[in-house]
Amino acid sequence: MSDATTRADDKLDRPLGQKTPTTAAEKAQAEREPSKTRRVKERLTSPWATAAAILIATLWTIPTFGLLVSSFRTPEEIRSNGWWNIFVSPSFTLENYFEVLTVSGASSANLGQYFVNSLVIAIPAALFPIAIATMAAYAFAWIKFKGSGALFVLVFALQIVPLQMALVPLLQIFSQVLGISGTFPAVWIAHTIFGLPLCIFLLHNFISEIPGEVIEAARVDGANHTQIFFRIIIPLSLPALASIGIFQFLWVWNDLLVALVFSGGTADVAPLTQRLAELVGNFGRNTERLPAAAFISLIIPLVVFFSLQRYFVRGLLAGSTKG
Amino acid sequence: MTSEFFSDLAAKFGLMFLGLAVFAAAVGVILFLADRAPKRGRDVWQLLAFLAPAMILLGVGLVYPAINTAVLSFFNRNSSEFVGFDNYVWMFTEPTILTTLGNTLIWVALVPTLSTVFGLAYAVFIDKSKGEKVLKSLVFMPMAISFVGAGIIWRFVYEYRAVGFSEQIGILNQILVWLGQEPQQFLQNSPWNTFFLIVVMVWIQTGFAMVLLSAAIKGVPVEIIEAARLDGANAWQQFWNVTVPGIRSTLVVVVTTISIATLKVFDIVRAMTGGNFDTSVVANEMYTQAFNRGEFGQGSALALVLFVMVLPIVVYNVRVMRKQKEIR
């Protein structure tokens, strides 16, 4: 993890209102006389707790690590013995990655195409719901109207309607009314709809916390809702928009169910997850391809995760620890 | 092949930018018109402009389908004939579906409990320790991985090779062999295979629980913990009597969120066993019935059962939310 991320995480994790030493002099003083936090820290950190933490971290990491190592071994080795043997007889190859990405044909993985599909699906499907949800969240937070509270509770409750309930009728609308079933727009719209309740809920939490005086002042100056929205709400909510956008992007990238139903399953539209699920379906025949294939699907989420972790975490916290 | 790939790439990204442009234009036009609405009733027009897109999409995409599915569950396989409660009778008399319902209950009992316990323990263990950020990232990382990716990762962990046939390539069986045991078919031996699938979900959700609980633990005032310590409370008493009550609301959020995610889980079962060997859950069975077998009536009935299982959680959440609004 980069230094910048670490520092930002520090800021994020610190309880509100706790003062931190900023100048060199303050830091030196903090080191001379340990603060309350430090004394408590000494009491709580026992060697047993640390050992247990490291044990859990190791257990949690080994499965992914094993797959990463496998993806760099030759197909024969993947089939014949376990990845831990690489420590006895080290040998690395990039062959698997070339194979699954570039070789095309009915029996090969063709992942290059599906990777493009995933990107083309996930970018609009992250932006659309954020935009629409921001507008709705603003209306719920700052436009007074009858039944506002009840409608908001309804939207919140929709969060929990299982997608499984919506699939069949929505598919019928797409194929019979709009005629777009099995195309990118169908997948975009489906993801937008399914992402909306959570996005509205999280963004509402954030937007309703904006101080009323700011908006009141703008209104006195003669600004209407559209102007307030673009000049005040959007600039002030950028951090929340970023974090929830990342969250939605990862969710769409990792989705299988919506893709299975709305993409039509062809190499023209279907995302990586669907192709992977098909490859897993013939696990025995694809054993040597899977580690590299899985890692290709993990690259974007892991890059997003490790570089934007603090925004991602903030998005999670926005709706869950407040209140 | 490469030129074909690149023309395909250009076409797809072209479509994507076109989609983004159309969307931006549509939103722009709506807001522009709201801005220029006649003075009389301008507030109403502006409210509509902000709220209508979301409400129309939700109405068409969630509310109407949910009602429609509920209705379909009382019709036969291709929705041509009203059959009353037949689909529900089928569900509660068919042994494989009963197994599926039972599995779902096991999932929803175990995943939230285990994820929260592990996440909480881990958050406490690493709190203020050295390298906290790195340790956090390691356990949180599975959150970024798709369920399908996680399924593949764990299939390799559980992979089985018969004795004498070949060397083991799954680490779990290798450990059994090293310990002098017989290798096991973890994903095929019912009923234990369900628990091995649950391990995967716990592996994913623990990081989520840990991050939220860790943030909540840091919000518990140091002074209170200090006071408890001065009163002679040991580490366990401090944790149980001070920390846990201090993070109760976050605990509720974590448990309910993971419960909902667990009830809807579909990809893990799909990617690891396909629902075979008695491992299916309601969410997966619904997909199998409706989309693989064309049994839309039975699939819809299963979806409705799923909704009924989630309903108490919705009601509870709405009540908590109402209470919080009153406090504000």
Contact across the interface for B147 and A256, Cβ inside 8 Å: yes
Position B189, amino acid: N
Q: What is the pLDDT of residue B57?
A: 93
Alpha-carbon distance of A241 to A235, in angstroms, equals: 10
**Nearest partner of B100 among B305, B282, B299, judged by Cα:** B282
For residue A280, which residues of chain B lie inside 8 Å, CB to CB?
Answer: 148, 151-152, 155, 271-272
For residue A261, which residues of chain B lie inside 8 Å, CB to CB?
Answer: 291
Nearby residues of B33 by Cβ (< 8 Å), 6 or more positions away: B45, B49
For residue A291, which residues of chain B lie inside 8 Å, CB to CB?
Answer: 152, 156
Q: What is the pLDDT of residue B106?
A: 93
**Nearest partner of A299 among A112, A85, A77, judged by Cα:** A112
Angstroms from A183 CA to nearest CA on chain B: 11
Alpha-carbon distance of A303 to A308, in angstroms, equals: 8
Alpha-carbon distance of A185 to A128, in angstroms, equals: 11
Q: Which of B42, B43, B57, B320 to mutate to test the interface with A (most CBs of A within 10 A)?
A: B57
Nearby residues of A190 by Cβ (< 8 Å), 6 or more positions away: A170, A174, A258, A261, A262, B61
pTM of the complete model? 0.82
Position A124, amino acid: P
**Nearest partner of A18 among B211, B220, B235, B120, judged by Cα:** B220
Angstrom distances, CA of residue B172 to CA of A24, A250, B119, B179: 51, 30, 23, 11
Alpha helices (runs of H) in chain B, residue ranges in sequence order: 2-35, 42-58, 64-72, 86-93, 95-126, 132-140, 147-158, 171-178, 192-219, 222-230, 235-238, 244-246, 248-263, 267-272, 282-287, 296-327
Q: pLDDT digits over A73-125, tens only?
A: 888 888 777 888 878 777 788 888 888 887 766 566 678 888 999 999 999 99
Q: pLDDT digits over B255-268, tens only?
A: 888 888 898 888 88
Q: Return the number of CB contacts < 8 Å for A and B.
A: 365
In this complex, is the C-beta atom of B86 within 8 Å of any C-beta atom belonging to chain A?
A: no
Angstroms from A60 CA to nearest CA on chain B: 6
In this complex, is the C-beta atom of B169 within 8 Å of any C-beta atom belonging to chain A?
A: yes
SS3 A227: helix
- Whether residue B274 contacts residue B251, with contact meaning beta carbons closer than 8 Å, is answered with no
In this complex, is the C-beta atom of B166 within 8 Å of any C-beta atom belonging to chain A?
A: yes
Alpha-carbon distance of B116 to A130, in angstroms, equals: 29
Alpha-carbon distance of B71 to B5, in angstroms, equals: 45
Is the pLDDT confidence value at A252 over 60? yes
Is the pLDDT confidence value at A7 over 50? no
In this complex, is the C-beta atom of A260 within 8 Å of any C-beta atom belonging to chain B?
A: yes
Contact across the interface for A189 and B253, Cβ inside 8 Å: no
In this complex, is the C-beta atom of A2 within 8 Å of any C-beta atom belonging to chain B?
A: no
Q: What are phi and psi of B75, to 5 degrees?
A: -115, 170
For residue B32, which residues of chain A lie inside 8 Å, CB to CB?
Answer: 226
In this complex, is the C-beta atom of B9 within 8 Å of any C-beta atom belonging to chain A?
A: yes
- What part of B 278-317 touches A (C-beta under 8 Å)? 283, 286-287, 290-291, 296, 299-300, 302-304, 306-307, 310, 313-314, 317
Place of tokens 């609009």: A124
Q: Which of A48, A60, A74 to mutate to test the interface with B (most CBs of B within 10 A)?
A: A60
Alpha-carbon distance of B310 to B321, in angstroms, equals: 17
Which of A37, A119, A196 lies nearest to residue B54, judging by beta carbons?
A196
Q: What is the mean pLDDT of chain B?
A: 86
Structure tokens that stand for A266 in this block: 């062809």
Which of A44, A63, A145 lies nearest to residue B157, judging by beta carbons?
A63
Give the residue from chain B lying closest to A46, CA to CA.
B125
Place of tokens 């036009």: B29
- What part of A 194-253 touches B (C-beta under 8 Å)? 194, 196-197, 200, 224-227, 229, 250, 253
Is the pLDDT confidence value at B158 over 70? yes
Alpha-carbon distance of A137 to A148, in angstroms, equals: 11
Q: How many CB atoms lie within 10 A of CB A191?
A: 24
**Nearest partner of A141 among A243, A228, A221, judged by Cα:** A228
Q: Is the ipTM of this complex over 0.85?
A: no
Q: How many CB atoms lie within 10 A of CB B175?
A: 12
| Mean pLDDT of the region B80-98 | 89
SS3 B114: helix
- Whether residue B222 contacts residue A36, with contact meaning beta carbons closer than 8 Å, is answered with yes
Q: What are phi and psi of B120, to 5 degrees?
A: -70, -45
Contact across the interface for A124 and B137, Cβ inside 8 Å: no
Roughly how many angstroms between the first and final C-alpha of chain B, as a whole number? 62
A318 pLDDT tier (thresholds 50, 70, 90):
low
Is the pLDDT confidence value at A6 over 50? no
Q: What is the pLDDT of residue B326?
A: 62
Q: What is the pLDDT of residue B325?
A: 62
- Residue B243: strand pairing partners: none
Q: pLDDT digits over B218-251, tens only?
A: 888 888 888 888 888 888 888 888 888 888 888 8
